Amino acid sequence: MRSQRPPNREPSTARPQPQVDTIGVYTGTTEYGFSSMGDGTTLQITADGNWSVTIAPVSAAPGLAASGAGDGVFLYDGSARKITATHDGSSNFSLIEETREAFTMGLLVNEIGADSGTVPLSSGPSAIVVSADGNWTLLAE
């Protein structure tokens, strides 16, 4: 569960979990700063080759895609439904639903390897963050 830092406390010195932790070539889209709770955010990149980063507001994300490969961020503005997700990769597959609700745990799926299942989806607006090493499908029904 995310929690807001109490006022007049020093920020945590714990290292945040990496948004992307990949060996080799990476191309994808991921979220950044959703859980900052109004605090400033920083970006640290460690690489031994050329890289580029594009930072855009979440409003620039496309609508929920029916299928894709790798990481992605999508907007959902529909009613509460179920979402059926499949994944054919061999590593971690996760779906996170980021809403305007404070202190919510938006983790919908967190599995290793190939997976298929159905989970509840809140009514929008929200951002759906997909982390995957393979092909995936999403069907909101």
pLDDT of 24 reads 62
Confidence (pLDDT) at 65: 95
For 95, other C-beta atoms within 10 Å of its C-beta total 22
As a whole number of angstroms, the distance between CA 140 and CA 80 comes to 9
Helical H segments across 36-138, by residue range: none
DSSP state of 60: G
Contact call for residues 138 and 84 (beta carbons, < 8 A)? yes
The residue ranges of the chain whose pLDDT is under 70 are 1-28, 32-41, 102-105
The token duo for 7 is: 């006022």
Residue 12's pLDDT is 39
Distances (CA, A) of 14 to 98, 113, 119: 23, 29, 32
pLDDT at 54: 85
Cis check: omega of the bond before 125, within 30 degrees of 0: yes
Mapped onto helix, strand or coil, the DSSP state of residue 95 is strand
How far is 134 from 91, CA to CA, in rounded Å?
8
